[in-house]
Amino acid sequence: MALHAWVLPIASHDAYDPAVQNDPVQKDDNMKPNSRLALAGLALMAGTAALPCLPVTGLVSPALAASAPAADAPLTLKILKVEGNKAVSTDEIMAALPYHVGDTVTRDQLDAGVQKVADLYKAKNMGAKFSEKERFVKNTVQFYLMIEEQAPQAAAAPAPFVLDKVEFVGNKKVPTAELEAVTKLRPGATVTAEAATADTQAIQKVYQKHDLGVQIQPVATQPNHDNHVVLTYQITEK
């Protein structure tokens, strides 16, 4: 736990893309899923510690492999579309991709670009599944990237602060026993700012009853650097 001390306020009392890149992907009987990354619905996974980035492999049918150009064959990128993204803007995704419409690319480079988008989601602590479709016409390629975003996993709630000890420092005109009698926080209790503030106000009323001015500052420290605290009321009598 990084927090080693927290201080409450002092209480005092004085004595008196372009649109085309978002168009829905059109169903096309000739469109082939990327045989290396998206065959049969397989996808890359990007995410947090709870959603690791996992490579995906699949079997490549001879017919499909034969219909696609070689992995390093140069192709002109004719169409580049992204679909399914909501939490991350299309502009951000397009900026992460190292290629644009009109560029000369290879299938390997297209896959490497998808990994760049996966890295973008990981940096934002978001999980996502990626699938891609490629359509080849002569020496051109139409590339469609489909994204299925996943909500980030909620962080675990921090452990509550547990009170180990209460101390009163600086009280000379009012005995400690009298202050202990009016405060409610005891060892073993859960410490909250509200509870400490309520006890501070109770101490302030004791001083008002005695017609004494006072300044009170509650300070909680964590000697063992965990969720156990020592609560000290630093009192300045006037």
Q: What residues does each domain of the chain span?
A: 5-15+159-237, 31-150
pLDDT above 90: residue 61 = no
pLDDT above 90: residue 6 = no
Percentage of the chain exceeding pLDDT 90? 63
- Give pLDDT, residue 151: 72
CA distance 6 to 59: 58
pLDDT above 60: residue 36 = no
> What is the DSSP annotation of 68-133?
SPPTT--EEEEEEEEES-SSS-HHHHHHHSS--TT-EE-HHHHHHHHHHHHHHHHHTT-EEEEEEE
Give kind and range of the element (H or E) at residue 218: strand 214-221
Give kind and range of the element (H or E) at residue 134: strand 127-137
pLDDT tens digits, 125-147 = 888 999 999 999 999 999 999 99
Question: Are domains 5-15+159-237 and 31-150 of this chain identical in fold?
Answer: yes
CA distance 81 to 235: 66
Domain 31-150 top-level CATH class: alpha beta
Residues 217-221 have a mean pLDDT of 93
Please give the C-alpha separations between residue 92 and each of 75, 102, 219, 228, in angstroms, as whole numbers.
24, 19, 45, 44
CATH of domain 5-15+159-237: 3.10.20.310
- Give pLDDT, residue 159: 87
Instruction: Band the pLDDT of 158: cuts 50, 70, 90.
Output: confident
Token code pair at residue 221: 């420290």
User: Which of the two residues, 145 and 22, has the higher pLDDT score?
Assistant: 145
- Give pLDDT, residue 154: 64
**Highest averaged pLDDT of the listed ranges 42-51, 56-65, 119-128, 161-170:** 161-170
User: Which of the two residues, 55 and 8, has the higher pLDDT score?
Assistant: 8
Residues 36-56 have a mean pLDDT of 36
